[in-house]
Amino acid sequence: MLNRRASGILAHLSSLPGPYGIGDLDSGCFFLDFLDQAGQSYWQFLPTGIVDHVFGNSPYMSVSAFAGNPLLVSPDLLFEKGLLHKEDLIGKPHFDEYTVNFPVVNDFKNRLLQKSYERFVSIRLYQEEFEEFCQKQGYWLDDFALFMCLREKFMSSPWYEWPRSFAQHETKSLQAAARELGEKCLYYKFVQYVFFMQWRRMRQMAQQKSIRLIGDIPIYVGLDSADVWANQSCFDLDVTTLRPRYVAGVPPDYFSETGQRWGNPLYLWEKDGKPNDRLYTWWSQRFRHISRMVDVVRIDHFRGFAAYWQVPAKEETAINGKWINGPGKRFFEQVSTATAELDIIAEDLGIITPDVEELRDSLGYPGMKILQFAFDSDESNLYLPHNFQTTNCVVYTGTHDNDTTIGWYYDNKVSQNAKNRARRYANSDGSVIHRDFIRLAFSSIAVLAVIPLQDLLGFGSDCRMNRPSTLEGNWIWRCAPRFLSTEISHYLRGEVDFYGRMRQESGADK
């Protein structure tokens, strides 16, 4: 459990400064230096899986729940390992320091990764380590690599439109495909090998600095993913079309009047009236995998384990869905061995009912408090710091789905009454509302306070990370290097020191 007052920063790796158009795993090490200087104990980021332009490059809709995003691989670290030549890094495209141009970055990084693989094969570097990686990760890596190869073979069409024997994951056809596509499969395995090699380096640096990493595990996976293709008995699919009968989403809420139709397939928690053992095994593997990457995990859409919104797949919006009971506490008891090394944060936002709160509290997981939600009603609002009923919670000024605090404050759609209440509550004139919110978070009784990087820097709506229910213009924000200044780190260090949230070097914060 989290039991010592502390603070951290929310910033996705892709948003960090770096010379190659996107933050990467080398940028992450430089960011750890900044967090160290600022006295921070935690760094939280979004899911690190492969992103796809079809879904607007959302990290919450990946082709694999296990694979790392190749765009986060550092070319400089490949060069240091002898897997690239110096001239390979010359003549790179012009990259904007404020946004990620995913198509350009994707072309550039893939070209370098291909060169790196060719050098890996030609000079036989790290062969023993690579083979050991493939053996240990084979439970997901083999299916993932073959899935990516077949995707190429069938012109990027979704797996459920592949020839029937391949779509149904039939062993004989897959064995033949593995022989035919073996070399290409090795390439995809190699990319994952270098991703996790670089990840291990970054995590070791975090451990040396006593900075704990907070990962993010989406409750659902994408339909066109290696996970669904290889584990079809775990999902509620039509046996004829292989497509979902129902899809995930949420009813109308703060973010959307028509709800959010996410489109992810739903889980088959039970088969023939009994727990679906294969599904629980898959979830256990997923938790063990992320526990090797991070110290804490935020379970996105935690409420789905108590009850989830089931939307008929034929519906265009989420309005006509209904609540279905989830697996509840039994799920977490079944995977308890796999989660033993993790601290867990429950993302308990949205429509939260007593059963969700009971599940969260029975497990001892801290929930989330969002200050931007605190001022739209009255003094009983549960997000107001004076209403925090326990220290066992994590307070945020906002999340990746919110506008920045500056953007929120100047948004005409936010009521004047909410802004007036915020100013009064913070004893503020509104001129530095982002710092007022940071002060409210740090001074609260919450055991952990996490501040989005955009709020630390006082940025506006143009730096927002995501607008739910939209596809265009999300996930592209980047922080230019000059903004991670000594002045900012000194300010942040002073605040965490004043409010008793300074990092302890002993690492005894579990």
Residue 347 annotated to the active site? yes
Which pLDDT band, with edges at 50, 70 and 90, does 469 fall under?
Answer: confident
Total number of residues shown for the chain: 510
Nearest Cα to Cα of residue 495 among 435, 446, 413:
435
Alpha carbon of residue 125 to chain centroid: 32
Alpha carbon of residue 347 to chain centroid: 12
**In a 10 Å sphere around its CB, with 0-12 CB exposed, 13-18 middle and 19+ buried, how is residue 50 labelled?**
buried
**15-33 as b/e, with b when 16 or more CB fall inside 10 Å?**
bbbbbbbbbbbbbbbebbe
Mean pLDDT of 108-118: 97
Do 253 and 351 contact (CB within 8 A), yes or no? yes
Mean confidence (pLDDT) of the chain: 96
| Whole-number percent of the chain with pLDDT over 90 | 93
Which pLDDT band, with edges at 50, 70 and 90, does 309 fall under?
Answer: very high
User: What are the start-end ranges of the H helices in 124-243?
Assistant: 127-136, 138-153, 164-167, 171-180, 182-208, 226-230
Which pLDDT band, with edges at 50, 70 and 90, does 121 fall under?
Answer: very high
pLDDT tens across 319-376, in order?
Answer: 999 999 999 999 999 999 999 999 999 999 988 999 999 999 999 999 999 999 999 9
pLDDT given for residue 509 in this prediction: 45
What lies within 8 Å, CB to CB, of 40 at 6+ separation is 7, 8, 9, 211, 492, 496, 503
Residue 142 annotated to the active site? no
Range in 144-148, 260-264, 377-381 the model is least confident about:
260-264
Eight-state DSSP code of residue 93: P
Which pLDDT band, with edges at 50, 70 and 90, does 510 fall under?
Answer: very low
298 pairs with which residues across the strands?
A: 216, 345
Eight-state DSSP code of residue 39: T
265 pairs with which residues across the strands?
A: 247
pLDDT given for residue 485 in this prediction: 98
Torsion of CA 147, 153, 157, 161, to 10 degrees: -80
pLDDT given for residue 101 in this prediction: 97
* Residue 258 predicted with pLDDT over 50: yes
Q: What is the C-alpha separation between 113 and 34, in angstroms, rounded?
A: 28
pLDDT tens across 141-200, in order?
Answer: 999 999 999 999 999 999 999 999 999 999 999 999 999 999 999 999 999 999 999 999
Do 3 and 447 contact (CB within 8 A), yes or no? yes
User: What are the start-end ranges of the H helices in 209-243?
Assistant: 226-230
Which pLDDT band, with edges at 50, 70 and 90, does 484 fall under?
Answer: very high
User: What are the start-end ranges of the H helices in 209-250?
Assistant: 226-230
pLDDT given for residue 438 in this prediction: 98
Q: What is the C-alpha separation between 501 and 453, in angstroms, rounded?
A: 17
What stretch of H or E contains 8? strand 6-10
pLDDT given for residue 373 in this prediction: 97
The one catalytic residue among 295, 347, 403, 495 = 347
Q: What is the C-alpha separation between 157 and 151, in angstroms, rounded?
A: 7
Question: E-assigned strands of 229-269?
Answer: 246-250, 260-265
Torsion of CA 266, 268, 273, 276, to 10 degrees: -150
Nearest Cα to Cα of residue 50 among 203, 221, 215:
221
The one catalytic residue among 26, 36, 143, 300 = 300
* Residue 1 predicted with pLDDT over 80: no
Strands 448-452 and 296-300: unpaired
Nearest Cα to Cα of residue 458 among 427, 481, 482, 437:
437
What lies within 8 Å, CB to CB, of 99 at 6+ separation is 476, 477, 478
Strand arrangement of the beta sheet that strand 260-265 belongs to: 260-265, 246-250, 307-312, 322-325
pLDDT tens across 413-449, in order?
Answer: 999 999 999 999 999 999 999 999 999 999 999 999 9
Mean pLDDT of 374-400: 97
Q: Which residue has the higher pLDDT, 509 or 270?
A: 270
Q: What is the C-alpha separation between 476 and 58, in angstroms, rounded?
A: 10
Which pLDDT band, with edges at 50, 70 and 90, does 508 fall under?
Answer: very low
Mean pLDDT of 273-280: 95
pLDDT given for residue 424 in this prediction: 98
Q: What is the C-alpha separation between 367 and 369, in angstroms, rounded?
A: 7
Residue 300 annotated to the active site? yes
Mean pLDDT of 464-480: 94
The one catalytic residue among 236, 376, 401, 411 = 401
pLDDT given for residue 99 in this prediction: 98
